[in-house]
Amino acid sequence: MSRKILFVAALLVLWAAALLFRVVSINNRPVHADESVHALKFSQLWLKGVYKYDPNQFHGPTIYYAALPIVWAEGRINFADTHISDFRLPIAFFGAGMILLLFFLTDALGKPATLLTGLLLAISPAFVFYSRYYIQEIVLVFFSLALLACIWRFIASRKPLWLLWGGFCVGMMAATKETVVLNLFALAVAIGALYLHSRYVEKKPIDWRSGLKISYLIGAVIIAFLVMAFFITGNFRNPVGFWDYFLAYIPWVHRAHASALHLHPWLYYLHILVWWHNGKGPVWTELLTIILFLIGFVIAFIPQWSDRLDIHPRFIRFVGFYTVILTLVYSTIPYKTPWCLLNFLLGMIIMAGYGGVALVRLLPGATLKVIATLLIFAGLLQLTMQSYATSFKYEADTRNPYVYAQTDPDLLRFVKRFRAITAAYPDGNQTLVKVIWKDNYYWPIPWYLRAYKNVGYWGGVIPPDPSAPIVISSYDLDDVMTSKLNNTHLMTGLYAIRPGVYLELWVRMDVWKDYLKTLKPGDDGN
């Protein structure tokens, strides 16, 4: 069996292992508020064929389109029939699919470094955790890696077709999330930095013109705009969505500085990756990746070292520039959510794969090579164990740095009681339910009530008559609800919905009595 076949087989094994890591027990974490919002937006596309871009929230619709094949394959008929796995599975496929994209970088990284990069991607706690999460970031990073692969394939082959594929990738990134501008900015600066380094440090200017035709660049730009427009306008049915997309940068720029909830210090992302310890929980760290990234970055810029390896040093330097710039950009922006770190962690992992292999090869003597290999192996084992803990043991624990504004498992206790109460009431899933909240952030309650036909939501407003067989209210409205419902309803429980956010379950007396009749002796209903 040839080395090429063995390499491809090894890459496929890594892909399969990564996919398994991402799909096993994919429902084990309560539905996040963001996931529930996206699921509802998906249902409008699926059931009504309608998508309307909102310049204030939600980002692009590519994850909605990605979920369509899963829902069709599962034979779902209505939104109530769907499971959260229907939405998380396509993200898992994108997360694992990044390993297959590495094949296109093989001649830039070398086979050993490509496999080490794939292994680091497969077991990265951050990548595994967010590949089990119905939000846009993994899809954005998938296409950013695809774009890097297109750039390299053009450099290696000088075939303009790769520029057109690059335009497609940019379009998909733009249709996924508005933060694509940060990736493109980092790419542009990295290209400029590589040009200056090649011209003034290496004294070997890069030949940019070979195979690069302005017509293909224009074609790539047109493809990018067409792909983005197709998704953002809902298959071109809502043309104003294209204009709204660019207007979206106004609220996003404001939000980047004004949202106190998501304001974090400059070192927030590096703090998570290097050393995170909260309370009595374990220490989280992807220190192996950080160390190997730094080693790879240094080696790439020392010609007497990098030139000894069967790796393309200029591409590695380009990835290094891109990663450092993107890290600085994301760290500088005050508005931070932990999944955003995936954008520059990808580059760190590519550089780490290069750095690990380069380190072992450049160390003198068999003894040092064996020691370095064993240390890397130990680090890989630590990452695997931590990734397991992140996604299967602390998947909803606030001590986990990747758990962010996560739905409290206590909400599932509420769901169990709510369903039992409505099952005992003659109206069943036709029961009138009123959700009354201090604002519009009552998610993911709508996800868990999606099978109920008569649910009304009041965010930031209290209806003149809040009475209903079942009332779900924000704990912040306890005084108001008590004054209006205390004579006819019983407040049957206080449940955590997110950190610091609670709901009250008010049940009308007759409904509560029907429910109590269904309980067995000694059963408190919880």
The answer on 314 and 287 residing in a single domain is: yes
| Domain hosting residue 137, numbered range | 3-393
> Across the strands, what pairs with 506?
471, 491
Give a yes or no: residue 405 inside a domain.
Answer: no
The answer on 479 and 332 residing in a single domain is: no
**C-alpha span between 445 and 474 (Å, rounded):** 11
Express each pLDDT in 286-322 by its tens digit.
Answer: 999 999 999 999 999 999 998 888 778 899 999 999 9
The answer on 417 and 365 residing in a single domain is: no
The answer on 294 and 218 residing in a single domain is: yes
The answer on 387 and 426 residing in a single domain is: no
pLDDT at 208: 72
Q: Mapping DSSP to helix (H, G, I), strand (E, B) and coil, where does residue 219 land? A: helix
Give a yes or no: residue 526 inside a domain.
Answer: no
- Residue 526, pLDDT above cutoff 80: no
The answer on 389 and 441 residing in a single domain is: no
pLDDT at 277: 94
Give a yes or no: residue 522 inside a domain.
Answer: no
For β-strands 501-508 and 470-474, DSSP reports them as antiparallel
Report pTM: 0.96
On whether the CB atoms of residues 273 and 279 are closer than 8 A, the answer is no
Boundary of a domain, candidates 368, 393, 418? 393
Other C-beta atoms lying within 10 Å of the C-beta of residue 334: 17
- Residue 262, pLDDT above cutoff 90: no
**C-alpha span between 526 and 524 (Å, rounded):** 6
Distance separating the N- and C-terminal Cα atoms of the chain = 60
Express each pLDDT in 483-511 by its tens digit.
Answer: 999 999 999 999 999 999 999 999 999 99
Q: Give per-residue burial for 486-510: e unless 16+ CB within 10 Å, then b.
A: eeebebbbebbbbeebbbbbbbbee
The answer on 56 and 202 residing in a single domain is: yes
The answer on 418 and 293 residing in a single domain is: no
The answer on 375 and 466 residing in a single domain is: no
Give a yes or no: residue 99 inside a domain.
Answer: yes
Distances (CA, A) of 16 to 4, 9, 122, 269: 18, 10, 9, 29
Give a yes or no: residue 37 inside a domain.
Answer: yes
Number of domains in the chain: 2
pLDDT band at 5 (very low <50, low <70, confident <90, very high): very high
pLDDT band at 378 (very low <50, low <70, confident <90, very high): very high
Q: Which residue has the higher pLDDT, 213 or 191?
A: 191
The answer on 162 and 28 residing in a single domain is: yes
Look at residues 179, 154, 180 and name the one whose alpha carbon lies nearest to residue 165. Answer: 154
> Across the strands, what pairs with 507?
470, 490
The answer on 212 and 74 residing in a single domain is: yes
pLDDT at 524: 62
Other C-beta atoms lying within 10 Å of the C-beta of residue 5: 9
User: What CATH number does the domain containing 479 carry?
Assistant: 3.40.190
Give a yes or no: residue 525 inside a domain.
Answer: no
